[in-house]
Structure 1
Amino acid sequence: MLRSAAALLCLATASACLAQTTTTALNPTLQQQIETITQEPAVVRAHWGVSVTTLSGAPIATLNDGQFFQPASNTKLFTTATVSALVPLDTRLHTRLLAVGTGLRDGVLQGDLILRGGGDANFSGRPVPYRPLKPGEKEPPRPELRYIDELADRIQQQGIRSIQGDIRGDDSLLAYQPYPPDWSLDDMVWYYGAPITSLMIADNSIDITVTPGKQQPGQPTYDTPSIHLNPDLSYYEFDTHDLKTVPGAPTRIDFDRMPGSRVLHLRGTIAPDAAPSTESISIDDPAEYAALALKRALEQRGITVTGQAVAKHGPLAGLQRDDLVEASIAGKTTSTSPLRPAVTVPDAGGNTPMFGSAECTRLQAAGSVACVVADHVGLPLADDIVVTNKVSQNQHADLLLRMLPLELNQGAATTANGAMLERRFLTEQADIDPRDFYFNDGSGMSGHNIVTPRAITQLLRYASTQPWGAQWKASLPVGGVDGSLRSRFPNEPLKNHVFAKTGTLGEVHALSGYLDCRSGQTVVFSLMVNTHTPLNNDDLKAMDRIVASIAAAE
């Protein structure tokens, strides 16, 4: 038996005892079932962790629940729970358009137009509040630049016909740290590895659709496949020399881009009769991209812009991973004030003063003023937490973590400060053992995040007792219904009775949440698998069988 072997190891090595469960499982039958499933030949070489408890904390079944695992997107459980507890869920973030210059005369703005990001992750075409797709329903096209168009309309309505200056995309609200520590270089080309910025646009990604080329009459070869973009905005240059239309070939297209480069290399094959292939690619500099989008929208409305579309970033963030880990272990932040929920500052409502009004801010430069000329108010924070957990949106989770110090007025908006404030909350209020977790980001993309299964079930139990707990639980994917669990647990008795966060990263799978059991009780569980066989999902099948066993246990 695995537990017997672990007990012998504990006797031999004192440090190993810390990683083992010190309590006896309440359900020996379920314990045996879990150990049998995890010992099957297809999955036995993976590293398994299991923690199943009642809502009151009594252990039902455990396996390596005190050992460390990479949590992948189970990290989002900790991020969104911390934010739910400390920041009012009705908080709305603003994306503002400011005119900075010497004035507006005869429809001519003498100065720059600045699009200033306020941390709203849903400045995009995503339908929010989140709505699950019905069976057979396809996601409708998303007008990703709809809010850019709305702001451009506001400028036109105010009689501005010409801008004698630049269009600036400003993400300086956050320190400039587009990628959290230890994100993988080869992930940065894809949507899930896009930069983290306070001015997010279209989830900081572009959909690229490759359509097979046609054969010209009398020619033996086919045209190079065509490229279509959503949003349809020129930003990257495309190198398609190695992209071919080949009869009978599989659709296999690779995308490559060096960090900081605006050249996207596409290589591979697609058959003439193949369906178009779409991939989502990250935007290298979202602030500049947003400025380009706004400049084009203004010009489409007949407004001339003499300057360029440029980006304005904040100062570089200083802390690296080793500093973050050391500070996290010590529990340090840049502030020593009590950790308490934030107080919502009353907003000015729909007040958007015209350029030159008394409410504008006069700058130090002689005769120069800055005025808000348009204001996009984001949706409530609660809606973004639902999106973050349901679809496992990495950039939203890391933006939440980065914004936490600002919302609590506790230091600079960096990943390190957010992670340290999160650690304080989890240890001081959620009563999680500080030795049981170390996080480097808010999404789980970092391969250096580690956590124990028992830390996750402790978080789940704690959340179930809090005023915000029911709303947070409702943000989790539901088995057979929505989010990342839409296609898992499609049948009764599990359909609509598993409320859990998935996690996938390399050879990592995780699933943690709440489960309604046949006995009538709701339990919390965390199932974690590390170092499973590459390109293989046998561990997922085993994991789902464990969930079924837990639900059926008496």
Structure 2
Amino acid sequence: MKTTCAAALAAAIFLVYPSISTAQKHAGAKQQASKKARRQEKPSKLAAQIEAVLSQPAVARAHWGIKVTSMDGRAIYSLNEGQLFQPASNTKIFTTATALALLGPQTTFTTKVIAKGTFSSPGRLAGDVVLVGAGDANLSGRSIPYVPPAMRPKVAPGQEPSPGPAALRYLEEMADQVAKTGLKVVNGDIVGDDTLYPWEPYPQDWAIDDTVWGYGAPISALTINDSQLTMTITPGSAPGVPASVMLDPIAPYYTVDMSALTTGPARSGNHLQIERSVGSKVLRVYGSIAVDSSPEEEEIAIQDPAEYAAAALKSMLEARGILVTGIARAKHRISSDDRGFLQASREAIPNMDWSRTYPPAAPASACTGNCGAVPERVLAQHISQPLIEDMVVTNKVSQNLHAEMFLHNVGAAVLGDGSTVNGARVVRAFLTSRAGVDPDDFVFFDGSGLSGHDLVAPRATVRLLQFASTQSWFADWKRTLPIGGEDGSLVARFGGSSMKDRVFAKTGTLSEARALSGYIDCASGRTVIFSIMVSAHTPGSSADRIAMDRIVELIGAAE
């Protein structure tokens, strides 16, 4: 009897415990299912919200690509992530990341003035004075480091802003150094030498009409004032009176044809055109500017930056009492590379050490002592600001020429030749071998994104952004990105939304393509990576930009 009771009790205990265990399992399973549902709910809700934005008639006909991940690469949302889009200035993300990783943030570039010839007496040179470009993008009046708009000095109403540093200040400083050497006569030419890069002023598929303007300035290892001049067009005193044109900085370079430029009646508006034929140094300005109009300013590209630099230096030396018997001219190096661009840019770089940084390449003409048949002597030099400070400028304001110079400088440093294709080859090798980007997910023909041949998949951009976040140089590089509502090309975006100061991203605009890629500090406190690209949007419309910004806000709120 006792045995039977004990057995029954044991059986009862046995029956109870399994039922408790099963209940716990069910509860645990429910909890896990709930967590999974919550994890799935966010992307589903976010997907529905994004779909609603993209279904609006103003943007529904455009082609969209989106990729969003966590910082560790976990997928959050995607749409056409593997399809190719024109990245426009999102290309600068790839160029600047490669340059920072391989050249290092503190790298500098040294521009030199060299006497190339013999001195018949201490002050008389039988030979040329050569200004040797070393890839410094900031021989200009630009203030560096970059200062966000909110931190710049305020200008009182009615007051004119104080003028910044002179555009040719560093060239003036080098001219002063030359004068202090005691040089009095140059029986030769003043030469602008940009042979660090082959003379390839325009990458493939840059639009012909872009070459007139500052944003399409030609690429040269000897770049003065961003290879551009400011043209100011001012109306005359009365309708019918010729208008005036001024170029700044003033140097003997362009001729301006104003024969068809006039002053129009009050309130007639401005109807101005500026043209320059390829290879020409004649600017034709025509049309009308209203008599009551404020002066109009345009940035005009310098057709041959090395020649312009030589002309400006010649004038400065003459102003300091130095007689120059020759002319101002450029020294270019013409490329003899007969490889096709796509084939050459895909060539592997054997024995590449991705863990090291590379010193900038020294121009062949920048040596001292007897460098061949003609003796050389350094008369003056200028050392650039650290590379990272120029990179902040480049990404904040989306400076095309500087991005191209980063591309050429990595080609020169790594491969010993600063050609466009060598720069693209280094970028491709870095992205595929080091950053883990799929080689079929991008094609770059330049460093700025101005080429219409450039193509990138959103997932390639996100992959690079995720890789960059794991690198020792990430903090330096992230601070180069525009901040929503705060500075750079995002200063006028997100300012009135919850995303102000929480979006760190590179913009991109080219014809009917637009892009925005970077990092979002979300409402939850987490940071996510995103890339949004659109092609074939309606010309002249900003609806795609408004939709893009709304999607960023939705991502920030959902995550």
Q: Does the alignment reach a TM-score above 0.5?
A: yes
- For 1:82 and 1:148, how far apart are their aligned partners in 2? 30
SS in 1 for 2:258: strand
- For 1:436 and 1:117, how far apart are their aligned partners in 2? 35
SS in 1 for 2:139: coil
Counting only pairs closer than 5 Å after superposition, residues 116-135 of structure 1 correspond to structure 2 as 116-134=132-150
* Among 149, 162, 166, the residue aligned to 2:172: 149
Question: Which residue is equivalent to 1:326?
Answer: 343
Question: Which residue is equivalent to 1:48?
Answer: 64
Given that residues 103 and 360 in structure 2 are in contact (C-alpha distance below 8 angstroms), is that contact kept between their aligned partners in structure 1?
A: no
**Change in 2 beyond 3 A, CA 1:337/1:283:** same
CA-based RMSD of the aligned residues comes to 2.2
SS in 2 for 1:121: strand
Question: Which residue is equivalent to 1:403?
Answer: 409
- For 1:249 and 1:110, how far apart are their aligned partners in 2? 58
- For 2:105 and 2:70, how far apart are their aligned partners in 1? 28
Question: Which residue is equivalent to 2:350?
Answer: 336
Counting only pairs closer than 5 Å after superposition, residues 24-35 of structure 1 correspond to structure 2 as 27-35=43-51
Superimposed CA distance per residue, residues 100-153 of structure 1 (whole angstroms, 9 cap, x where no aligned partner): 111151522222100000000111111111112237656844411001100110
* Among 490, 493, 496, the residue aligned to 1:485: 490
Counting only pairs closer than 5 Å after superposition, residues 100-139 of structure 1 correspond to structure 2 as 100-103=116-119, 105-134=121-150
Query: What letter is aligned with 1:277?
Result: E
Scaled by the length of structure 2, the TM-score of the pair is: 0.87
SS in 1 for 2:247: strand
* Among 403, 410, 429, the residue aligned to 1:424: 429
Query: What letter is aligned with 2:315?
Result: R
* Among 361, 367, 380, the residue aligned to 2:369: 361
Given that residues 124 and 145 in structure 1 are in contact (C-alpha distance below 8 angstroms), is that contact kept between their aligned partners in structure 2?
A: yes
Query: What letter is aligned with 2:262?
Result: K
The Cα of 1:60 is off from its aligned counterpart by: 1.4
Given that residues 288 and 310 in structure 1 are in contact (C-alpha distance below 8 angstroms), is that contact kept between their aligned partners in structure 2?
A: yes
* Farther off after superposition, 163-172 or 339-348: 339-348
* Among 226, 229, 234, the residue aligned to 2:252: 234
Structure 1, gaps ≥5 residues long: 1-23, 216-220, 354-358
Query: What letter is aligned with 1:374?
Result: A
The Cα of 1:27 is off from its aligned counterpart by: 1.2
Scaled by the length of structure 1, the TM-score of the pair is: 0.88
SS in 1 for 2:539: coil
- For 2:179 and 2:327, how far apart are their aligned partners in 1? 19
Given that residues 47 and 77 in structure 2 are in contact (C-alpha distance below 8 angstroms), is that contact kept between their aligned partners in structure 1?
A: yes
SS in 1 for 2:136: coil
Greater share of helix residues, 1 or 2? 2
Q: How many residues align?
A: 510
- For 1:431 and 1:139, how far apart are their aligned partners in 2? 48
SS in 2 for 1:122: strand
- For 1:104 and 1:155, how far apart are their aligned partners in 2? 17
Query: Are positions 1:203 and 2:226 aligned together?
Result: yes
Superimposed CA distance per residue, residues 329-374 of structure 1 (whole angstroms, 9 cap, x where no aligned partner): xx305x52314255565999xxxx9xxxxx9422554xx4111111
SS in 1 for 2:306: helix
SS in 2 for 1:238: strand
**Change in 2 beyond 3 A, CA 1:324/1:278:** same
Given that residues 89 and 508 in structure 2 are in contact (C-alpha distance below 8 angstroms), is that contact kept between their aligned partners in structure 1?
A: yes
Query: Are positions 1:287 and 2:333 aligned together?
Result: no
Query: What letter is aligned with 1:146?
Result: R
- For 1:162 and 1:127, how far apart are their aligned partners in 2? 34
The Cα of 1:62 is off from its aligned counterpart by: 1.3
- For 2:441 and 2:360, how far apart are their aligned partners in 1? 39
Given that residues 26 and 59 in structure 1 are in contact (C-alpha distance below 8 angstroms), is that contact kept between their aligned partners in structure 2?
A: no
Structure 2, gaps ≥5 residues long: 1-39, 156-160
Given that residues 133 and 139 in structure 1 are in contact (C-alpha distance below 8 angstroms), is that contact kept between their aligned partners in structure 2?
A: no
Question: Which residue is equivalent to 2:3?
Answer: none
- For 2:341 and 2:431, how far apart are their aligned partners in 1? 16
- For 1:25 and 1:115, how far apart are their aligned partners in 2? 63
The Cα of 1:267 is off from its aligned counterpart by: 1.9
Question: Which residue is equivalent to 2:515?
Answer: 510
Question: Which residue is equivalent to 2:25?
Answer: none
Question: Which residue is equivalent to 2:197?
Answer: 174
Query: What letter is aligned with 1:58?
Result: R
Large movers: runs of 4+ above 4 Å? 135-140, 341-348
Task: State the structure with more CA Rg.
Answer: 2
- For 1:347 and 1:243, how far apart are their aligned partners in 2? 46
Question: Which residue is equivalent to 1:223?
Answer: 241
Counting only pairs closer than 5 Å after superposition, residues 404-553 of structure 1 correspond to structure 2 as 404-408=410-414, 410-553=415-558
**Change in 2 beyond 3 A, CA 1:388/1:345:** closer
* Among 254, 257, 261, the residue aligned to 2:280: 261
- For 1:293 and 1:146, how far apart are their aligned partners in 2? 11
Superimposed CA distance per residue, residues 5-41 of structure 1 (whole angstroms, 9 cap, x where no aligned partner): xxxxxxxxxxxxxxxxxxx896111111111101100
Given that residues 102 and 354 in structure 2 are in contact (C-alpha distance below 8 angstroms), is that contact kept between their aligned partners in structure 1?
A: yes
**Change in 2 beyond 3 A, CA 1:108/1:96:** same
SS in 2 for 1:241: coil
